[in-house]
Structure 1
Amino acid sequence: MGGLRWYLAKVEAVAVRVVLLGVAVTGVVAQFVKPVGDALQDKVFLGGALLSLIAYVLYDAVKGLVGAGERPQARVRINSRELGPYIREAFRAREVSVRFIGYTGETLFNEVYHRLEALLESPRRTRKVTICILVPDFSVEMAVPSAVGTDGEPVDDRQFRERVARSCRDYEQQLLGLEEQFAEDRRVEARFEYRSFRGIPRDKVCILNGDVVLHGLYDVTTRQRHPELRREFYDPKGFDTNLHIRTRQEGTEEAVETVDHWVKHFDGMWRLAAATSTRRGSS
Protein backbone atom coordinates (compact mmCIF):
# COMPACT_ATOMS: atom_id res chain seq x y z
CA MET A 1 0.00 0.00 0.00
CA GLY A 2 2.87 2.35 0.83
CA GLY A 3 4.45 1.60 -2.55
CA LEU A 4 1.19 2.45 -4.34
CA ARG A 5 0.88 5.79 -2.51
CA TRP A 6 4.47 6.61 -3.45
CA TYR A 7 3.78 5.73 -7.11
CA LEU A 8 0.59 7.84 -7.27
CA ALA A 9 2.40 10.79 -5.68
CA LYS A 10 5.11 10.51 -8.31
CA VAL A 11 2.53 10.42 -11.13
CA GLU A 12 0.80 13.47 -9.68
CA ALA A 13 4.07 15.39 -9.42
CA VAL A 14 5.02 14.58 -13.03
CA ALA A 15 1.57 15.58 -14.29
CA VAL A 16 1.71 18.96 -12.55
CA ARG A 17 5.19 19.63 -13.90
CA VAL A 18 4.11 18.73 -17.46
CA VAL A 19 1.09 21.05 -17.32
CA LEU A 20 3.03 24.00 -15.91
CA LEU A 21 5.91 23.55 -18.32
CA GLY A 22 3.50 23.11 -21.25
CA VAL A 23 1.75 26.39 -20.48
CA ALA A 24 5.07 28.20 -20.17
CA VAL A 25 6.49 26.83 -23.43
CA THR A 26 3.27 27.52 -25.34
CA GLY A 27 3.20 31.13 -24.17
CA VAL A 28 6.79 31.79 -25.13
CA VAL A 29 6.35 30.17 -28.57
CA ALA A 30 3.24 32.30 -29.14
CA GLN A 31 5.34 35.47 -28.92
CA PHE A 32 7.75 34.41 -31.65
CA VAL A 33 5.68 32.17 -33.94
CA LYS A 34 3.00 34.38 -35.50
CA PRO A 35 0.46 31.66 -36.40
CA VAL A 36 0.51 30.41 -32.82
CA GLY A 37 0.24 33.95 -31.50
CA ASP A 38 -2.66 34.73 -33.79
CA ALA A 39 -4.41 31.57 -32.71
CA LEU A 40 -4.08 32.45 -29.07
CA GLN A 41 -4.85 36.15 -29.68
CA ASP A 42 -3.67 37.14 -26.25
CA LYS A 43 -0.95 39.78 -25.95
CA VAL A 44 -0.54 39.24 -22.23
CA PHE A 45 0.06 35.51 -22.55
CA LEU A 46 3.81 35.98 -22.19
CA GLY A 47 3.33 37.25 -18.64
CA GLY A 48 1.19 34.25 -17.81
CA ALA A 49 3.75 31.98 -19.42
CA LEU A 50 6.57 33.43 -17.37
CA LEU A 51 4.51 33.09 -14.22
CA SER A 52 3.85 29.47 -15.14
CA LEU A 53 7.55 28.89 -15.64
CA ILE A 54 8.28 30.42 -12.22
CA ALA A 55 5.52 28.28 -10.69
CA TYR A 56 7.10 25.19 -12.26
CA VAL A 57 10.49 25.94 -10.71
CA LEU A 58 8.98 26.76 -7.30
CA TYR A 59 6.78 23.66 -7.35
CA ASP A 60 9.77 21.46 -8.03
CA ALA A 61 11.75 23.09 -5.22
CA VAL A 62 8.89 22.91 -2.70
CA LYS A 63 8.19 19.26 -3.51
CA GLY A 64 11.83 18.49 -2.88
CA LEU A 65 11.86 20.31 0.46
CA VAL A 66 8.60 18.75 1.66
CA GLY A 67 9.69 15.28 0.62
CA ALA A 68 13.03 15.68 2.33
CA GLY A 69 11.41 16.95 5.54
CA GLU A 70 8.69 14.32 5.83
CA ARG A 71 10.22 11.09 4.59
CA PRO A 72 13.45 9.37 5.58
CA GLN A 73 15.95 9.30 2.75
CA ALA A 74 16.57 5.98 1.04
CA ARG A 75 19.66 4.56 2.71
CA VAL A 76 21.13 1.13 3.28
CA ARG A 77 22.61 1.84 6.73
CA ILE A 78 22.09 4.29 9.58
CA ASN A 79 23.36 4.81 13.10
CA SER A 80 20.93 4.06 15.92
CA ARG A 81 20.84 7.78 16.69
CA GLU A 82 19.16 8.26 13.28
CA LEU A 83 16.20 5.98 14.02
CA GLY A 84 13.81 8.91 14.57
CA PRO A 85 12.65 9.57 10.97
CA TYR A 86 11.80 5.90 10.49
CA ILE A 87 9.73 5.83 13.67
CA ARG A 88 8.00 9.06 12.62
CA GLU A 89 7.16 7.56 9.23
CA ALA A 90 5.79 4.39 10.85
CA PHE A 91 3.47 6.47 13.05
CA ARG A 92 1.70 7.85 9.96
CA ALA A 93 -0.07 4.53 9.50
CA ARG A 94 -3.61 3.70 10.59
CA GLU A 95 -2.25 0.64 12.41
CA VAL A 96 1.23 1.07 13.88
CA SER A 97 3.28 -2.01 14.72
CA VAL A 98 6.76 -1.92 16.28
CA ARG A 99 8.68 -5.12 16.99
CA PHE A 100 12.02 -4.67 18.73
CA ILE A 101 14.85 -6.92 19.92
CA GLY A 102 17.56 -5.22 21.94
CA TYR A 103 19.52 -4.75 25.13
CA THR A 104 17.16 -2.64 27.24
CA GLY A 105 14.91 -0.93 24.68
CA GLU A 106 16.30 2.49 25.60
CA THR A 107 16.90 3.60 22.00
CA LEU A 108 13.37 2.70 20.98
CA PHE A 109 11.84 4.18 24.13
CA ASN A 110 13.52 7.53 23.51
CA GLU A 111 12.04 7.64 20.01
CA VAL A 112 8.49 6.43 20.63
CA TYR A 113 7.55 7.93 24.01
CA HIS A 114 6.92 11.51 22.85
CA ARG A 115 5.25 10.28 19.66
CA LEU A 116 2.83 8.31 21.81
CA GLU A 117 2.16 11.39 23.92
CA ALA A 118 1.43 13.37 20.76
CA LEU A 119 -0.88 10.58 19.61
CA LEU A 120 -2.88 10.95 22.82
CA GLU A 121 -3.34 14.64 22.03
CA SER A 122 -4.22 14.14 18.36
CA PRO A 123 -4.61 10.61 16.98
CA ARG A 124 -5.33 11.84 13.41
CA ARG A 125 -5.74 8.68 11.32
CA THR A 126 -4.03 6.23 13.72
CA ARG A 127 -6.39 3.78 15.38
CA LYS A 128 -4.11 1.07 16.75
CA VAL A 129 -0.56 0.92 18.14
CA THR A 130 1.25 -2.27 19.14
CA ILE A 131 4.77 -2.25 20.56
CA CYS A 132 6.50 -5.55 21.39
CA ILE A 133 9.97 -5.44 22.96
CA LEU A 134 12.26 -8.42 23.52
CA VAL A 135 15.20 -8.07 25.93
CA PRO A 136 17.51 -10.65 27.55
CA ASP A 137 16.47 -12.42 30.73
CA PHE A 138 18.68 -10.70 33.32
CA SER A 139 17.59 -13.03 36.12
CA VAL A 140 20.14 -15.68 35.10
CA GLU A 141 23.94 -15.68 34.93
CA MET A 142 25.24 -13.95 31.79
CA ALA A 143 28.48 -13.35 29.90
CA VAL A 144 27.12 -9.97 28.72
CA PRO A 145 26.42 -7.84 30.64
CA SER A 146 29.10 -8.84 33.12
CA ALA A 147 32.11 -7.57 35.02
CA VAL A 148 35.52 -7.58 33.33
CA GLY A 149 37.80 -10.08 35.05
CA THR A 150 41.52 -9.79 35.76
CA ASP A 151 42.48 -11.30 32.40
CA GLY A 152 39.53 -9.78 30.51
CA GLU A 153 37.25 -12.74 31.07
CA PRO A 154 33.53 -12.04 31.66
CA VAL A 155 32.53 -12.48 35.31
CA ASP A 156 28.83 -12.65 36.06
CA ASP A 157 27.71 -9.82 38.34
CA ARG A 158 24.21 -10.14 39.76
CA GLN A 159 24.18 -6.56 41.09
CA PHE A 160 24.90 -5.16 37.65
CA ARG A 161 22.35 -7.47 35.98
CA GLU A 162 19.71 -6.26 38.41
CA ARG A 163 20.63 -2.69 37.63
CA VAL A 164 20.09 -3.26 33.89
CA ALA A 165 16.84 -5.11 34.60
CA ARG A 166 15.57 -2.12 36.60
CA SER A 167 16.16 0.10 33.58
CA CYS A 168 14.01 -2.24 31.47
CA ARG A 169 11.25 -2.23 34.08
CA ASP A 170 11.35 1.56 34.24
CA TYR A 171 10.87 1.92 30.48
CA GLU A 172 8.13 -0.69 30.53
CA GLN A 173 6.26 0.98 33.38
CA GLN A 174 6.29 4.32 31.58
CA LEU A 175 4.90 2.69 28.44
CA LEU A 176 2.24 0.89 30.46
CA GLY A 177 1.27 4.22 31.99
CA LEU A 178 0.65 5.56 28.49
CA GLU A 179 -1.28 2.40 27.62
CA GLU A 180 -3.67 3.10 30.49
CA GLN A 181 -4.18 6.65 29.23
CA PHE A 182 -5.00 5.31 25.75
CA ALA A 183 -7.52 2.91 27.32
CA GLU A 184 -9.22 5.79 29.13
CA ASP A 185 -9.20 7.97 26.01
CA ARG A 186 -10.61 5.15 23.81
CA ARG A 187 -9.69 6.75 20.49
CA VAL A 188 -6.64 4.54 19.89
CA GLU A 189 -6.25 0.88 20.80
CA ALA A 190 -2.81 0.46 22.39
CA ARG A 191 -0.82 -2.57 23.55
CA PHE A 192 2.75 -2.28 24.86
CA GLU A 193 4.69 -5.23 26.23
CA TYR A 194 8.18 -6.35 27.23
CA ARG A 195 9.18 -10.00 27.13
CA SER A 196 12.51 -11.68 27.88
CA PHE A 197 14.58 -14.32 26.11
CA ARG A 198 17.54 -16.44 27.24
CA GLY A 199 20.73 -15.15 25.67
CA ILE A 200 23.10 -12.22 25.44
CA PRO A 201 22.19 -8.91 23.76
CA ARG A 202 23.69 -9.67 20.34
CA ASP A 203 21.11 -8.51 17.77
CA LYS A 204 19.43 -5.14 17.60
CA VAL A 205 16.33 -5.43 15.41
CA CYS A 206 13.51 -2.98 14.78
CA ILE A 207 10.61 -4.01 12.52
CA LEU A 208 8.20 -1.21 11.62
CA ASN A 209 4.67 -2.01 10.43
CA GLY A 210 5.94 -5.29 9.01
CA ASP A 211 7.43 -3.35 6.08
CA VAL A 212 10.78 -1.98 7.25
CA VAL A 213 13.53 -3.89 9.06
CA LEU A 214 16.54 -2.26 10.70
CA HIS A 215 19.10 -4.76 11.93
CA GLY A 216 22.51 -4.44 13.54
CA LEU A 217 24.87 -6.22 15.92
CA TYR A 218 25.94 -4.88 19.29
CA ASP A 219 29.64 -4.79 20.05
CA VAL A 220 29.44 -7.22 22.97
CA THR A 221 33.07 -6.51 23.95
CA THR A 222 32.36 -2.83 24.67
CA ARG A 223 33.72 -1.94 28.11
CA GLN A 224 32.32 0.81 30.31
CA ARG A 225 33.48 1.89 33.74
CA HIS A 226 30.77 2.67 36.27
CA PRO A 227 32.51 4.64 39.06
CA GLU A 228 29.74 4.09 41.58
CA LEU A 229 30.19 0.31 41.19
CA ARG A 230 33.98 0.65 41.13
CA ARG A 231 34.37 -1.87 38.33
CA GLU A 232 34.56 -2.11 34.56
CA PHE A 233 31.78 -3.99 32.79
CA TYR A 234 31.00 -5.52 29.42
CA ASP A 235 28.09 -3.22 28.68
CA PRO A 236 27.07 -2.70 24.99
CA LYS A 237 26.25 0.83 23.82
CA GLY A 238 23.07 0.73 21.78
CA PHE A 239 23.33 4.31 20.51
CA ASP A 240 26.54 3.46 18.64
CA THR A 241 25.12 0.42 16.87
CA ASN A 242 24.82 0.68 13.08
CA LEU A 243 21.61 -0.63 11.54
CA HIS A 244 21.20 -2.07 8.04
CA ILE A 245 17.86 -1.29 6.36
CA ARG A 246 15.64 -3.50 4.23
CA THR A 247 12.14 -2.57 3.07
CA ARG A 248 9.36 -4.08 1.00
CA GLN A 249 9.35 -0.85 -1.01
CA GLU A 250 12.67 -1.86 -2.57
CA GLY A 251 10.49 -3.94 -4.87
CA THR A 252 12.84 -6.92 -5.19
CA GLU A 253 12.00 -10.49 -4.31
CA GLU A 254 15.14 -10.71 -2.20
CA ALA A 255 14.16 -7.65 -0.14
CA VAL A 256 10.63 -8.97 0.48
CA GLU A 257 12.01 -12.36 1.51
CA THR A 258 14.46 -10.70 3.91
CA VAL A 259 11.69 -8.68 5.58
CA ASP A 260 9.47 -11.76 5.82
CA HIS A 261 12.37 -13.70 7.36
CA TRP A 262 12.86 -11.15 10.16
CA VAL A 263 9.14 -10.86 10.86
CA LYS A 264 8.87 -14.65 11.14
CA HIS A 265 12.01 -14.79 13.32
CA PHE A 266 10.70 -12.16 15.72
CA ASP A 267 7.22 -13.66 15.96
CA GLY A 268 8.73 -17.05 16.75
CA MET A 269 10.94 -15.64 19.50
CA TRP A 270 7.99 -13.66 20.88
CA ARG A 271 5.85 -16.77 21.20
CA LEU A 272 8.63 -18.64 22.97
CA ALA A 273 9.67 -15.78 25.24
CA ALA A 274 8.43 -15.64 28.80
CA ALA A 275 6.42 -12.56 29.71
CA THR A 276 8.16 -10.34 32.22
CA SER A 277 6.81 -10.07 35.75
CA THR A 278 4.60 -7.09 34.90
CA ARG A 279 2.63 -9.06 32.32
CA ARG A 280 3.05 -12.63 33.54
CA GLY A 281 -0.24 -12.63 35.37
CA SER A 282 -2.26 -11.55 32.33
CA SER A 283 -0.46 -13.16 29.38
Structure 2
Amino acid sequence: MTSKWRRLTDRLAGKTEPEPLWQEGVPDHLDVPIRDWLYEVLRTYDMAVPVAVRLKLPSKILKSRDPYAELATLEDSKNPMLRLEVIDAVLGCVEQALQGASWHHRQTAASYARQLEGILREGGVAFAVSEDGSGLERRMDETLHATYDKAVEAGASRVETAADHLRAAFSEAYGIRPDPSAAYSRAIKAVEAVANPLYLPNEAEPTLGKVRAHLDQGRHKYEMVIADRAGAPADIDAVVAMVSLLWHGQRDRHEGGPTSAPVTQEAAETAVHTAAILVHWISSGSIRRK
Protein backbone atom coordinates (compact mmCIF):
# COMPACT_ATOMS: atom_id res chain seq x y z
CA MET A 1 0.00 0.00 0.00
CA THR A 2 1.35 3.42 -0.94
CA SER A 3 0.55 6.74 0.73
CA LYS A 4 -2.60 8.43 -0.56
CA TRP A 5 -1.51 11.85 0.69
CA ARG A 6 -0.94 14.59 -1.90
CA ARG A 7 0.91 17.84 -1.33
CA LEU A 8 -1.23 20.98 -1.32
CA THR A 9 -0.11 22.27 -4.71
CA ASP A 10 -0.92 18.91 -6.33
CA ARG A 11 -4.38 18.86 -4.74
CA LEU A 12 -5.07 22.41 -5.88
CA ALA A 13 -3.96 21.46 -9.40
CA GLY A 14 -6.27 18.43 -9.38
CA LYS A 15 -3.40 16.00 -9.70
CA THR A 16 -4.53 12.47 -8.83
CA GLU A 17 -1.92 10.12 -10.26
CA PRO A 18 0.56 8.78 -7.69
CA GLU A 19 4.12 10.04 -7.64
CA PRO A 20 6.69 7.54 -8.94
CA LEU A 21 8.24 5.40 -6.24
CA TRP A 22 11.93 5.72 -5.35
CA GLN A 23 13.37 2.60 -6.96
CA GLU A 24 16.95 2.43 -5.71
CA GLY A 25 18.40 3.00 -2.28
CA VAL A 26 17.24 5.46 0.38
CA PRO A 27 16.33 8.98 -0.83
CA ASP A 28 17.87 11.99 0.89
CA HIS A 29 14.57 13.06 2.48
CA LEU A 30 14.51 9.78 4.42
CA ASP A 31 18.17 9.79 5.44
CA VAL A 32 17.57 11.04 9.00
CA PRO A 33 14.48 8.94 9.91
CA ILE A 34 16.10 5.80 8.46
CA ARG A 35 19.34 6.54 10.31
CA ASP A 36 17.50 7.04 13.61
CA TRP A 37 15.40 3.89 13.12
CA LEU A 38 18.42 1.77 12.29
CA TYR A 39 20.46 3.07 15.22
CA GLU A 40 17.69 2.43 17.75
CA VAL A 41 16.91 -1.11 16.53
CA LEU A 42 20.57 -2.09 16.16
CA ARG A 43 21.31 -0.90 19.69
CA THR A 44 18.13 -2.28 21.27
CA TYR A 45 18.73 -5.80 19.93
CA ASP A 46 22.56 -5.64 19.83
CA MET A 47 22.57 -6.51 16.13
CA ALA A 48 25.86 -4.97 14.98
CA VAL A 49 27.77 -8.25 14.79
CA PRO A 50 25.01 -10.41 13.22
CA VAL A 51 24.25 -7.79 10.57
CA ALA A 52 27.90 -7.12 9.71
CA VAL A 53 28.59 -10.86 9.45
CA ARG A 54 25.46 -11.53 7.38
CA LEU A 55 26.39 -8.78 4.89
CA LYS A 56 30.13 -9.65 5.00
CA LEU A 57 31.04 -6.05 5.77
CA PRO A 58 34.63 -4.81 6.41
CA SER A 59 35.89 -5.46 9.96
CA LYS A 60 36.62 -1.76 10.48
CA ILE A 61 32.90 -1.23 11.11
CA LEU A 62 32.88 -3.49 14.17
CA LYS A 63 36.23 -2.04 15.32
CA SER A 64 34.86 1.49 15.34
CA ARG A 65 33.88 3.31 18.55
CA ASP A 66 30.19 3.03 17.69
CA PRO A 67 29.40 0.15 15.29
CA TYR A 68 25.68 0.92 15.55
CA ALA A 69 26.20 4.42 14.19
CA GLU A 70 28.51 3.14 11.47
CA LEU A 71 25.88 0.67 10.27
CA ALA A 72 23.04 3.19 10.57
CA THR A 73 24.81 5.61 8.21
CA LEU A 74 26.56 3.09 5.98
CA GLU A 75 26.59 4.03 2.28
CA ASP A 76 28.51 3.00 -0.82
CA SER A 77 28.48 5.01 -4.04
CA LYS A 78 29.13 1.80 -5.99
CA ASN A 79 26.20 0.02 -4.34
CA PRO A 80 23.22 2.36 -3.85
CA MET A 81 21.21 -0.56 -2.48
CA LEU A 82 23.55 -1.08 0.49
CA ARG A 83 21.45 0.98 2.92
CA LEU A 84 18.38 -1.09 2.05
CA GLU A 85 20.44 -4.26 2.42
CA VAL A 86 21.38 -3.16 5.94
CA ILE A 87 17.70 -2.56 6.77
CA ASP A 88 16.77 -5.95 5.27
CA ALA A 89 19.52 -7.69 7.26
CA VAL A 90 18.46 -5.98 10.50
CA LEU A 91 14.87 -7.13 10.06
CA GLY A 92 16.00 -10.67 9.27
CA CYS A 93 18.44 -10.89 12.18
CA VAL A 94 15.91 -9.54 14.68
CA GLU A 95 13.24 -11.96 13.45
CA GLN A 96 15.66 -14.87 13.76
CA ALA A 97 16.84 -13.81 17.22
CA LEU A 98 13.27 -13.57 18.54
CA GLN A 99 12.11 -17.00 17.43
CA GLY A 100 10.60 -18.57 20.53
CA ALA A 101 10.72 -15.26 22.44
CA SER A 102 7.85 -13.99 24.57
CA TRP A 103 4.78 -12.33 23.08
CA HIS A 104 5.86 -8.97 24.52
CA HIS A 105 9.27 -9.04 22.83
CA ARG A 106 7.79 -10.07 19.51
CA GLN A 107 5.17 -7.32 19.72
CA THR A 108 7.90 -4.75 20.33
CA ALA A 109 9.75 -5.96 17.23
CA ALA A 110 6.50 -5.83 15.23
CA SER A 111 6.03 -2.24 16.37
CA TYR A 112 9.49 -1.35 15.05
CA ALA A 113 8.63 -3.02 11.74
CA ARG A 114 5.38 -1.03 11.45
CA GLN A 115 7.25 2.17 12.23
CA LEU A 116 9.73 1.44 9.44
CA GLU A 117 6.94 0.59 6.98
CA GLY A 118 5.33 3.93 7.73
CA ILE A 119 8.57 5.75 6.94
CA LEU A 120 9.09 3.86 3.69
CA ARG A 121 5.46 4.24 2.59
CA GLU A 122 5.18 7.96 3.30
CA GLY A 123 8.60 8.53 1.78
CA GLY A 124 7.58 6.89 -1.49
CA VAL A 125 10.14 4.07 -1.45
CA ALA A 126 9.56 1.13 -3.83
CA PHE A 127 10.32 -1.38 -1.05
CA ALA A 128 8.07 -2.37 1.83
CA VAL A 129 8.43 -4.40 5.02
CA SER A 130 7.27 -7.97 4.39
CA GLU A 131 4.11 -9.16 6.08
CA ASP A 132 6.02 -11.23 8.64
CA GLY A 133 8.50 -8.41 9.28
CA SER A 134 11.51 -10.54 8.37
CA GLY A 135 12.81 -8.38 5.52
CA LEU A 136 12.07 -6.02 2.68
CA GLU A 137 10.20 -6.77 -0.52
CA ARG A 138 9.28 -4.76 -3.59
CA ARG A 139 6.11 -2.75 -3.02
CA MET A 140 3.14 -4.17 -4.92
CA ASP A 141 -0.09 -2.74 -6.27
CA GLU A 142 -2.83 -3.06 -3.62
CA THR A 143 -5.12 -5.13 -5.85
CA LEU A 144 -2.35 -7.59 -6.72
CA HIS A 145 -1.37 -7.87 -3.07
CA ALA A 146 -4.98 -8.64 -2.12
CA THR A 147 -5.02 -11.46 -4.70
CA TYR A 148 -1.79 -12.84 -3.25
CA ASP A 149 -3.15 -12.66 0.32
CA LYS A 150 -6.33 -14.50 -0.66
CA ALA A 151 -4.32 -17.19 -2.41
CA VAL A 152 -2.04 -17.72 0.59
CA GLU A 153 -5.08 -17.96 2.87
CA ALA A 154 -6.82 -20.44 0.58
CA GLY A 155 -3.65 -22.47 0.04
CA ALA A 156 -2.98 -22.69 3.76
CA SER A 157 -6.50 -23.94 4.41
CA ARG A 158 -5.98 -26.83 2.00
CA VAL A 159 -2.28 -27.67 1.92
CA GLU A 160 0.14 -25.75 4.11
CA THR A 161 3.06 -26.29 1.71
CA ALA A 162 1.17 -24.44 -1.03
CA ALA A 163 1.11 -21.28 1.08
CA ASP A 164 4.79 -21.77 1.95
CA HIS A 165 5.76 -22.10 -1.70
CA LEU A 166 3.66 -19.09 -2.66
CA ARG A 167 5.26 -16.94 0.04
CA ALA A 168 8.71 -18.07 -1.09
CA ALA A 169 7.84 -17.34 -4.74
CA PHE A 170 6.67 -13.87 -3.79
CA SER A 171 9.84 -13.23 -1.79
CA GLU A 172 12.10 -14.45 -4.62
CA ALA A 173 10.26 -12.29 -7.16
CA TYR A 174 9.96 -9.11 -5.13
CA GLY A 175 12.95 -9.21 -2.79
CA ILE A 176 15.86 -6.77 -2.82
CA ARG A 177 17.87 -9.23 -4.90
CA PRO A 178 15.22 -10.98 -7.04
CA ASP A 179 15.81 -14.52 -8.31
CA PRO A 180 13.40 -14.94 -11.25
CA SER A 181 14.27 -18.59 -11.81
CA ALA A 182 13.67 -19.53 -8.18
CA ALA A 183 10.46 -17.48 -8.08
CA TYR A 184 9.07 -19.25 -11.15
CA SER A 185 10.00 -22.67 -9.81
CA ARG A 186 8.33 -21.94 -6.46
CA ALA A 187 5.21 -20.66 -8.24
CA ILE A 188 4.84 -23.98 -10.04
CA LYS A 189 5.39 -25.91 -6.80
CA ALA A 190 2.65 -23.86 -5.11
CA VAL A 191 0.13 -24.91 -7.76
CA GLU A 192 1.35 -28.51 -7.72
CA ALA A 193 0.89 -28.63 -3.93
CA VAL A 194 -2.88 -28.08 -4.27
CA ALA A 195 -3.49 -29.56 -7.74
CA ASN A 196 -1.55 -32.84 -7.60
CA PRO A 197 -3.44 -34.40 -4.66
CA LEU A 198 -6.78 -33.30 -6.10
CA TYR A 199 -6.39 -34.24 -9.76
CA LEU A 200 -3.65 -36.90 -9.64
CA PRO A 201 -4.18 -38.73 -6.32
CA ASN A 202 -2.82 -42.04 -7.62
CA GLU A 203 0.02 -40.69 -9.77
CA ALA A 204 3.43 -41.86 -8.55
CA GLU A 205 5.26 -38.82 -9.94
CA PRO A 206 2.71 -36.01 -10.35
CA THR A 207 3.72 -32.77 -12.07
CA LEU A 208 1.98 -29.64 -13.22
CA GLY A 209 2.41 -30.89 -16.78
CA LYS A 210 0.39 -34.00 -15.94
CA VAL A 211 -2.23 -31.83 -14.22
CA ARG A 212 -2.46 -29.78 -17.41
CA ALA A 213 -2.93 -32.93 -19.51
CA HIS A 214 -5.56 -34.28 -17.08
CA LEU A 215 -7.60 -31.08 -17.20
CA ASP A 216 -7.14 -30.66 -20.93
CA GLN A 217 -8.34 -34.18 -21.70
CA GLY A 218 -11.09 -34.08 -19.08
CA ARG A 219 -12.63 -30.70 -19.86
CA HIS A 220 -16.04 -32.38 -20.02
CA LYS A 221 -15.68 -33.55 -16.41
CA TYR A 222 -15.18 -30.13 -14.81
CA GLU A 223 -16.85 -26.74 -14.69
CA MET A 224 -16.37 -23.36 -13.02
CA VAL A 225 -18.56 -21.93 -10.28
CA ILE A 226 -18.80 -18.75 -12.34
CA ALA A 227 -21.41 -18.63 -15.11
CA ASP A 228 -20.85 -18.14 -18.81
CA ARG A 229 -22.83 -15.73 -21.01
CA ALA A 230 -25.68 -18.23 -21.30
CA GLY A 231 -25.99 -18.45 -17.53
CA ALA A 232 -24.62 -21.99 -17.32
CA PRO A 233 -21.48 -22.93 -15.39
CA ALA A 234 -18.50 -21.83 -17.45
CA ASP A 235 -16.11 -24.38 -18.90
CA ILE A 236 -12.53 -24.70 -17.66
CA ASP A 237 -10.83 -23.40 -20.81
CA ALA A 238 -9.40 -20.45 -18.86
CA VAL A 239 -7.97 -22.80 -16.24
CA VAL A 240 -6.33 -25.02 -18.85
CA ALA A 241 -4.92 -21.95 -20.58
CA MET A 242 -3.44 -20.57 -17.34
CA VAL A 243 -1.93 -23.91 -16.31
CA SER A 244 -0.48 -24.30 -19.81
CA LEU A 245 0.91 -20.76 -19.71
CA LEU A 246 2.59 -21.41 -16.37
CA TRP A 247 3.92 -24.83 -17.38
CA HIS A 248 5.25 -23.92 -20.83
CA GLY A 249 6.60 -20.53 -19.74
CA GLN A 250 9.32 -21.98 -17.53
CA ARG A 251 11.93 -22.00 -20.27
CA ASP A 252 14.91 -22.67 -17.98
CA ARG A 253 13.53 -25.97 -16.66
CA HIS A 254 15.80 -27.92 -19.04
CA GLU A 255 19.04 -26.82 -20.65
CA GLY A 256 20.19 -27.33 -24.21
CA GLY A 257 16.84 -27.16 -26.00
CA PRO A 258 16.14 -24.82 -28.91
CA THR A 259 13.69 -22.76 -26.80
CA SER A 260 15.64 -22.82 -23.53
CA ALA A 261 16.13 -19.34 -22.08
CA PRO A 262 16.63 -17.63 -18.71
CA VAL A 263 13.49 -16.59 -16.86
CA THR A 264 13.06 -12.82 -16.96
CA GLN A 265 11.94 -10.73 -14.00
CA GLU A 266 8.71 -9.86 -15.79
CA ALA A 267 7.99 -13.53 -16.52
CA ALA A 268 8.65 -14.47 -12.90
CA GLU A 269 6.27 -11.82 -11.56
CA THR A 270 3.58 -12.93 -14.02
CA ALA A 271 4.11 -16.56 -13.00
CA VAL A 272 3.75 -15.74 -9.30
CA HIS A 273 0.42 -13.97 -9.83
CA THR A 274 -0.84 -16.65 -12.21
CA ALA A 275 0.02 -19.24 -9.57
CA ALA A 276 -1.74 -17.18 -6.91
CA ILE A 277 -4.97 -17.15 -8.90
CA LEU A 278 -4.75 -20.89 -9.61
CA VAL A 279 -4.02 -21.74 -5.97
CA HIS A 280 -6.99 -19.65 -4.92
CA TRP A 281 -9.34 -21.17 -7.49
CA ILE A 282 -8.29 -24.76 -6.84
CA SER A 283 -8.26 -24.41 -3.05
CA SER A 284 -11.57 -22.56 -2.78
CA GLY A 285 -13.51 -24.95 -5.04
CA SER A 286 -13.93 -22.54 -7.92
CA ILE A 287 -13.21 -25.51 -10.22
CA ARG A 288 -15.55 -28.41 -9.53
CA ARG A 289 -16.57 -31.75 -10.98
CA LYS A 290 -19.84 -31.84 -12.87
Relative to total residues, which structure has the larger helix share, 1 or 2?
2
- Shorter chain as denominator, the TM-score bin is under 0.3
Relative to total residues, which structure has the larger strand share, 1 or 2?
1
Larger Rg: 1
State the TM-score, normalizing by the size of structure 1.
Answer: 0.22
